[in-house]
Amino acid sequence: MTTLQPRRAACAIALAACLPLLQLPVQAASLAADGQWAEFYVDALTARDGGLGWIDTDTGLAQTFEFSVPVGFVGRLTVVDGGFAGDTFALSLGGQPLGFTSAVPATAGDSLGVDFEAALADGRYSRGVFTLQAGSYTLSGRLLQSAVLGGVALEATVGGLQLQVSAVPEPGNLALLLAGLPLLGLALRRRCEGGA
């Protein structure tokens, strides 16, 4: 038994050394904080790993989006399904779960293509809005529920990402604003009473 233990240890070390070689590379894209829509895709037939994660359609590699929210700002990340309604997604930041898009029926209707504003306004399309504090992020996602057309799960879709960044008011300014509201209300009341 003692001769098997060193052999097992050597095999375990060799396997551990090979694991990084088995992982597929990731295609990273920048997500601008300008409120414009960026597209992501899922296609089980095109994905090099055959999975349901977001992919770069040109290479079939896993797709991530990198972005930053500056100090003193807050980010609002919007994710919406496109194409046929019925898809839902799980999102991760740096490999840690961020959340899910809203639950919708899986039955696919008419396709909106890449009109993400129309999809956002249509309750049949899954969406999620996430608030992010200052920091640098790597976003990835995967298909949780596929739209079903003619009784068959499509396992392929397009979706949209939108990042908007806005300044966080300084606590002192917020306190001044809140302190001034009663005075504004009193002034309006006096003006209304004086005009009656």
For residues 142 and 90, what is the distance between their CA atoms, to the nearest angstrom?
Answer: 5
Residue 180: predicted pLDDT: 67
In percent, how much of the chain has pLDDT > 70?
77
Residue 113: predicted pLDDT: 84
- Average pLDDT estimate for 100-107: 95
Residue 25: predicted pLDDT: 76
- Average pLDDT estimate for 129-158: 95
Least confident range of 74-78, 93-97, 107-111: 107-111
Is the pLDDT reported for residue 119 higher than 50? yes
H-assigned helices in 47-126: 116-121
Residues linked to residue 97 through DSSP beta bridges, in sequence order: 92
Average pLDDT, the chain: 83
User: pLDDT, tens digit, for every residue of 122-142?
Assistant: 999 999 999 999 999 999 999
Place 175 in a pLDDT band, splitting at 50, 70 and 90.
low
What would the DSSP string read from start to end of 96-108?
Answer: EEEEEPPP--SB-
* Strands 135-145, 156-167: pairing kind: unpaired
CATH number 2.60.120.380 given to 28-182: yes
For residues 196 and 193, what is the distance between their CA atoms, to the nearest angstrom?
Answer: 5
In percent, how much of the chain has pLDDT > 90?
58
Domain ranges in the chain are 28-182
